[in-house]
């Protein structure tokens, strides 16, 4: 199944690249679009001050120390829950990982987290001091509608990270629909509707750490 999908993507890319012609140096003119099958989370510096829609622009803690060490304030959470094991003995990483699990469970109850302008989703969890950003199936369909006419193919990282592992899931279904032209995103006239994002939840606790970055 994996080999079939890869060959399908390569075939689609070659067909589109050839249809665009060649540069003077004979290199194909072609670009691909990529989708991550995981969410990224960051620790908010002061959740009480984070009142923007979806947490965009709120201050987050630094992820690396001066020597490049992992400070345990951020990480990735794949859509395939079986792969979200903890691989570090770092106490800070363990603590944040456990908070991320609780926060992810809360996130599943949220709606209207997509940002139609950005083509991505975000949410700020004040209770667990987390900022999340990811690409939903709806975001994928929107990106497809807007950009697939200008690219040669699609890549993902990684194919076993959707909700059902190698059996796929809603994100891979949206991508397949995009490539085959059968999803909402396969029709250039269709795009995701704009919707307000969820603001920070009540119950946020203060954090004395100084702001080190901004969620973009």
Instruction: Note the pLDDT tens digit of each residue in 7-21.
Output: 444 444 445 555 444
Residue extents of the structural domains in the chain: 29-214
Other Cβ atoms closer than 10 A to 139: 23
What does the alpha-carbon distance between residue 125 and residue 115 come to, in Å, rounded to a whole number?
17
CB 198 within 8 A of CB 113: yes
- Alpha-carbon distances, residue 41 vs 4, 20, 191 (angstroms): 33, 39, 26
Q: Tell me the average pLDDT of the chain.
A: 74
Instruction: Note the pLDDT tens digit of each residue in 157-187.
Output: 888 999 999 999 999 999 988 887 654 433 3
pTM over 0.75: no
Instruction: Note the pLDDT tens digit of each residue in 75-103.
Output: 999 999 999 987 777 888 888 999 999 99
Share of the chain above pLDDT 90, in %: 34
Q: Which residues contact 195 (CB under 8 A, 6 or more apart)?
A: 112, 114, 116
């Amino acid at each position: 199944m994996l080999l079939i999908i890869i060959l399908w993507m390569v075939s689609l890319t070659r067909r589109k690249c050839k249809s665009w012609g060649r540069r003077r140096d004979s290199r194909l003119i072609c670009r691909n679009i990529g989708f991550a099958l995981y969410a990224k989370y960051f620790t908010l510096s002061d959740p009480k001050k984070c009142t923007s829609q979806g947490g965009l622009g709120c201050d987050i803690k630094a992820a690396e120390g001066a020597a490049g060490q992992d400070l345990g304030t951020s990480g990735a959470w794949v859509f395939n829950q079986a792969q979200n094991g903890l691989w570090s003995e770092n106490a800070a990483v363990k603590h944040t990982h456990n908070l991320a699990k609780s926060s992810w469970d809360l996130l599943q109850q949220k709606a209207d987290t997509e940002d139609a302008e950005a083509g991505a989703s975000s949410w700020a969890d004040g209770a667990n001091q987390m900022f999340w950003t990811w690409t939903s199936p709806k975001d994928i369909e929107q990106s497809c509608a807007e950009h697939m006419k200008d690219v040669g193919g699609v890549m993902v990282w990684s194919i076993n990270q959707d909700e059902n592992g190698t059996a796929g899931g809603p994100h891979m279904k949206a991508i397949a629909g995009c490539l085959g032209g059968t999803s909402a995103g396969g029709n250039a006239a269709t795009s995701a509707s704009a919707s307000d994002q969820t603001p920070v939840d009540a119950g946020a606790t203060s954090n004395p750490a100084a702001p080190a970055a901004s969620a973009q």
